[in-house]
Structure 1
Amino acid sequence: MLKHFIFVRNDINLNTGALLAQVSHVSIKCVLEFLSDPDCYTFINQTDMTTIILQVNEDEYCELKEYLSSNSQVSFVEWLEQPENVMTALAVKPLEIEKEKEFMKFIKKYKLFK
């Protein structure tokens, strides 16, 4: 099953609406970046997309980025909010969770965004 994971910072001074905008921005950027990828293309053409939004603080964000940067199997994009110049969100390319067991194990520590 294809799922799209988005990680949003919960330790920055933005209201809920602004945080939701960050999720929207990074999601669109991710789809555009990986549109030619078969999994991404399949994901956006499904009628039952599953997107999971998890919350991270600055330290967790850095840990996540370091993990993903060293794991070439999982591609991602980030959203840099301007003019604040702050990384606010990270989206992983839609992926088959059954094939990414290591990634799934790693992200279990992060909580759903609320």
Structure 2
Amino acid sequence: MATIACEHLTMYIVVRKDLSKTLKWPTGSVMAQACHAATAVLQTTRNESNTMKYVEDYERMHKVVLETKNDETLKNLAESLKTHNIPLYQWVEQPENIPTALATAPIPERSPEVKDLFKKYCSLYR
């Protein structure tokens, strides 16, 4: 069976930096938020062709993990992505009801409008 190359599909995962810097969440807890968002977006978009291609070639999945400043910038990014029809899942940690992370469904990584949105609100997670 031939595998479908996914080198042009990327999942973008964005977490709030203030969770660790200001709110003093442990690194593992912040990483869990990213994992929750990534898992949820794959589940909610499981019938979309890009997601099916992405998970079929699971050994070559591409992800970019980014950080954004706080709740406001995460919200603004989510709204901007939605206006560009980018499927995403924004994770809200319960029972605290705190928006912590978002993940996009697998999308073409070279999409210029998407790259511009991420540049506006995010940087690589450090």
TM-score (norm. length: structure 2): 0.83
Match of 1:66 in 2: 79
- Tell me if structure 1 keeps the 8 A contact 2:51–2:105: yes
Q: Tell me, which stretches of 5 or more residues in structure 2 are unaligned?
A: 1-7
Q: Which amino acid aligns with 1:22?
A: Q
Q: Deviations over 1:10-30 (max 9, x none)?
A: 112211000011111111101
| Aligned-partner Cα distance in 1 for 2:47–2:11 | 16
Counterpart pick for 1:7 among 11, 14, 20: 14
4+ residue stretches of structure 1 with deviation over 4 A?
none
Question: Which runs of no fewer than 5 residues in structure 1 stay unpaired?
Answer: none
- Following TM superposition, by how much is the alpha carbon of 1:97 offset from its aligned partner in structure 2, in angstroms? 2.0
Take 1:29 and 1:11, find their aligned partners in 2: how far apart are those partners? Answer: 22
Q: Structure 1 residue 68: deviation in Å?
A: 1.5
TM-score (norm 1): 0.91
1:92 alignment partner AA: T
* Larger-gyration structure (1/2): 2
Of 70, 78, 81, which aligns to 2:93? 81
Equivalent pairs counted in the alignment come to 112
Cα RMSD after superposing both structures: 1.2
Find the aligned partners of 2:69 and 2:97 in 1 and give their Cα distance. 16
Matched residues in 2 for 1:76 and 1:7: separation? 11
Tell me whether 1:102 sits opposite 2:113 in the alignment: yes
Query: What's 2:5 paired with?
Result: none
Identity %: 27
Question: Is 2:46 the partner of 1:39?
Answer: no
